[in-house]
Amino acid sequence: MSKEHIVIFDTTLRDGEQSPGASMNTEEKIQIASQLEKLGVDVIEAGFAAASPGDFDAIARIAQRVKNSTVCSLARALEKDIKAAGDAIAAAPKKRIHTFIATSPIHMEYKLRMKPDEVIKRAVEAVQYARTFVDDVEFSLEDAGRSEMGFMKEIIDATISAGAGTINIPDTVGILLPQEVAERIAELKAFIGNRAIISVHNHNDLGLAVANSLAAIQSGARQVECTINGLGERAGNAALEEIVMALKVRSDVFDNVETGINTREIYPTSRLIASITGIEPQPNKAIVGKNAFAHESGIHQDGVLKNKQTYEIFAPEEIGLDVNDTLVLGKHSGRAAFKDKLEKLGFTLDEEELNEAFARFKELADKKKDIYDDDLRALVTSQMTNIEKTWELVALQLMDSTGGVPSAAVTIRKNDGSEVTDAGIGDGTIDAVFKTIDRITGYHGLLKDYKVKSVSQGKDALASVTVQVAFNDNEPAVIGHGLSIDTMFASAKAYLGALNSYISMEGMLKKRPQGSGCNV
């Protein structure tokens, strides 16, 4: 029996980035898009082109890079949004415009202040205009979870006639239960037939996003919109990894459908997203949480030792996690072994990138006795997501004592090769470091968040520091990452990383148009 294809529509770069604190720079977005393509995602929603010049640039560069996945941009049902989306994705071999308008009574009355017939007219015009840029148009009924079925059928019929090939039914506020989703999708499937693909986009406000997505698939939906690690606004979106593995593990139930996802890339993709956003999946997160394959109970441990299937419904290797191969390399390891290990971890580097990574590995191996998989992931990820460095940390010297005044001496190299050294005091050691960097660079940042974690294990474990810094009151905070055995050095690198990201986007970071934030 031939199986029907489930389109995996990943919106990590759009809806996922709307998760508080998850903003990314352009180079990071390109790296994520490349990994999503490697994962086998069908559609990559690369962003919201009309939101800002920075978003437009990131989408345009992703469109130039991605060859196999469809590159999509979101757009409100407005001509200026749709034109921006069409222009941004123009270079993509496969491209889609995703346009939307709210259809629930509460949204139409209080947000749009439009009558139902006006909403249908706007939706039809949007789809028709989008078709002048692309053949592949998706139309979303924002807040479909609270929309009336009769009106949904009316606007769906009109937008399909106008040229929409995919109709998305979002549970924008995450209010529906699986049975309600199943009934709604079944009714819409009977109404639409084969005229368009039915898609769902479920939010996780009640913790039901994945369950609702699976219920929709059983009722005829053939596209699911989701994010890596379930990132997204409020409680997040349906988690891609959970949907895909549920379909695979329970193929006895979902015997008529399949995805094109390379599941062995799930764990590497999850780790990349976590490294870039600084948002770690909760330890007990299904599929990719650090405890997902941990067995503490004596009964469980005994069973797993005898036969892993007693308590593991799929092998960790299926998602690209080799739990028995974590202690890897040391200072005497050669380049060939290093390259082979990176390939096993899912990294494909060109010759220049490999040489740079190997040099960084050797530098780390001189300071750290044992290097683990997570060390290598962090090392390579920090390299691959680097933007052009306007400022680079050269040296850091700290002085602190009980009852004394914390001070820091910092040496920074500018991209013209010149070095500047200065010293300063602060309310604490980190405050002293950041204030000194501000004085040297001439930029003044406001620290919004600071996180430090151990990358692997041992007293010599790498410290990974993530900061969120606002350099302008009218612009969003920028994320910076730092990696070093020395936590304070990693902190200074993270702060400079945020500054370099800000400088790279400074000409494009402008206030988003009113209402450009989207919660489809």
Highest mean pLDDT among 108-117, 270-279, 392-401: 108-117
Nearest CA-CA partner of 45 in 247, 199, 258: 199
Of 154, 224, 128, 144, nearest to 184 (Cα)? 144
Nearest C-alpha neighbor of 221 from the set 256, 185, 175: 185
**Close Cβ partners of 42 (under 8 Å, ≥ 6 residues apart):** 7, 8, 9, 69, 70, 223, 260
Per-residue pLDDT of 374-400, as tens digits, reads: 888 888 877 766 667 889 999 999 987
481 annotated as a binding-site residue: no
> How does residue 259 score in pLDDT terms, banded at 50, 70 and 90?
very high
**Least confident stretch, 158-167, 214-223, 224-233, 318-327:** 318-327
Alpha-carbon distance 141 to 289, whole Å? 33
Q: Is 468 exposed, middle or buried (0-12, 13-18, 19+ CB in 10 A)?
A: buried
Upper half-sphere CA count for residue 82 (Cβ side, 13 Å) = 24
473: number of Cβ within 10 Å: 6
| Angle between helices 266-277 and 373-384 in degrees, nearest 10 | 60
Structure tokens at 17: 């980035």
Please tell me the distance from the alpha carbon of residue 167 to that of residue 259, in angstroms, as a whole number. Answer: 19
For 515, counting Cβ atoms within 10 Å of its Cβ (0-12 exposed, 13-18 middle, 19+ buried), the class is exposed
Instruction: Name the nearest CA neighbour of 389 among 420, 418, 413.
Output: 413
Q: Render pLDDT for 468-497 as a digit per residue (tens, 0 to 9).
A: 999 987 777 888 889 999 999 999 999 999
Which helix (H) or strand (E) segment holds residue 339: the answer is helix 335-344
Question: SS in 3 state form for 128-148?
Answer: HHHCCCCCCEEEEEECHHHCC
What mean pLDDT value characterizes the chain? 89
Q: How many CB atoms lie within 10 A of CB 458?
A: 12
DSSP 8-class letter at 309: G
The proportion of the chain whose per-residue pLDDT surpasses 70, expressed as a percent, equals: 91
Residue 239 DSSP one-character state: B
Over the stretch 336-388, which tens digit does the pLDDT of each residue have? 888 888 887 777 788 888 898 898 888 888 887 778 888 888 888 777 666 67
Say if residue 328's pLDDT is above 60.
Answer: no
Domains delineated in the chain: 4-277 (3.20.20.70), 298-384 (no CATH), 391-505 (3.30.160.270)
Residue 129 has pLDDT above 90, yes or no: yes
Percent of the chain, pLDDT > 90?
64
CA distance 198 to 192: 8
pLDDT above 90 for 99: yes
**CA Rg value for the chain:** 24
How does residue 309 score in pLDDT terms, banded at 50, 70 and 90?
Answer: low
Q: Long-range contacts made by residues 337-344, C-beta under 8 angstroms, separation at least 24? A: 341/376, 342/376, 342/380
| 262 CB burial (10 A radius; 0-12, 13-18, 19+) | middle
Over residues 32-58, mean pLDDT:
95
> CA-to-CA distance for 72 and 85, rounded, in angstroms?
8
Distance CA 163, CA 121 (A): 14
Q: Is 201 annotated as a binding residue?
A: yes
CA distance 172 to 255: 29
Given a cut of 90, whether residue 36 has pLDDT beyond it is yes
Q: Is the pLDDT of residue 203 over 70?
A: yes
